[in-house]
Chains A and B, each alone.
Chain A
Amino acid sequence: KAGVTQTPRYLIKTRGQQVTLSCSPISGHRSVSWYQQTPGQGLQFLFEYFSETQRNKGNFPGRFSGRQFSNSRSEMNVSTLELGDSALYLCASSLVGLAGTNEQFFGPGTRLTVL
């Protein structure tokens, strides 16, 4: 079974631009979560989607948004990029409802560099 995939793997943008990252969960997984990882702040939760609905949201500005499609694939968007948005963005999926384990499986991440 294929793991979580993320595209693109690497991205370079300039300040003020916007970016869209994509995540395809493991087949059959219905929950997708997004995280930002930086050297200074570590891993921080962005948001979580289940059945096309945002179920939880972290403490990030409104420039960060996401959505989930009917096939469980998810995208996150960052508008008006700032230098501090440079980070590794990780996506995770889980099979909600299977004995309530919600074990998270992560993708390889998208490395975003903002110049």
Chain B
Amino acid sequence: KQEVTQIPAALSVPEGENLVLNCSFTDSAIYNLQWFRQDPGKGLTSLLLIQSSQREQTSGRLNASLDKSSGRSTLYIAASQPGDSATYLCAVSPGDNTDKLIFGTGTRLQVFP
């Protein structure tokens, strides 16, 4: 059974810092991995999607990497801003004939001025 874990559970940093969020999964047989952010009480916003054959994806100040063999992904946020404060979730898709996502526990990020 696929399990997804995110470390740390919470993070508080001053504005301007570069930071790394970690995601690990127990079964390397994944189709893709997706990173989301969620603001309190809101839906999920897709940040990056990495196909199983890819090693990384970049969007602006965000960079996500994937090491399928070791069951790990990292989300790197450069030059953090207070607007980055949110919960970050990673999710894996287990197969190529389903859109089912298995979510991690999330990392709650607070960036203070």
Residue numbers of A with Cβ under 8 A of B are 4, 31, 33, 35, 42-45, 48, 50, 55-56, 58, 88, 90, 92, 94, 96, 100-109, 111
Contact A42–B106 (Cβ < 8 Å): yes
Q: Give Cα A13 to B31, complex, Å.
A: 38
Interface centre among B89, B93, B99 (most CB of A within 10 A): B99
Total number of A-B contacts with CB less than 8 angstroms?
Answer: 67
Please tell me which one of the listed residues B44, B51, B99, B105 contacts residue A96 in the complex, with CB atoms under 8 A apart: B99
- Give the contacts of B86-112 with A (CB-CB under 8 A): 89, 91, 93, 96-103, 105-106
Quick one: closest B residue to A32, CB to CB?
B99
A108 to B101, Cβ gap below 8 A? no
Total B residues in contact with A, Cβ cutoff 8 Å = 25
Contacts of A42 in B (CB 8 A): 103, 105-106
Is B43 an interface residue when CB atoms closer than 8 A count as contact? Answer: yes
Pair B100/A103 contact, Cβ less than 8 Å: no
Give the interface of B toward A (CB within 8 A). Answer: 31-32, 34, 36, 41-46, 49, 51, 89, 91, 93, 96-103, 105-106
Beta-carbon contact of A101 and B106 below 8 Å: no
Distance to closest chain B CB from A101 (angstroms): 6
B93: nearest chain-A partner, CB-CB: A102
**How far, in whole Å, are A31 and B101 apart by their CA atoms in the complex?**
13
State A111–B102 Cα separation when bound (angstroms). 21
Given B46, B97, B105, B106, which contacts A104 in the complex, CB threshold below 8 Å?
Answer: B46
Q: Is the CB of A90 within 8 A of B100?
A: no
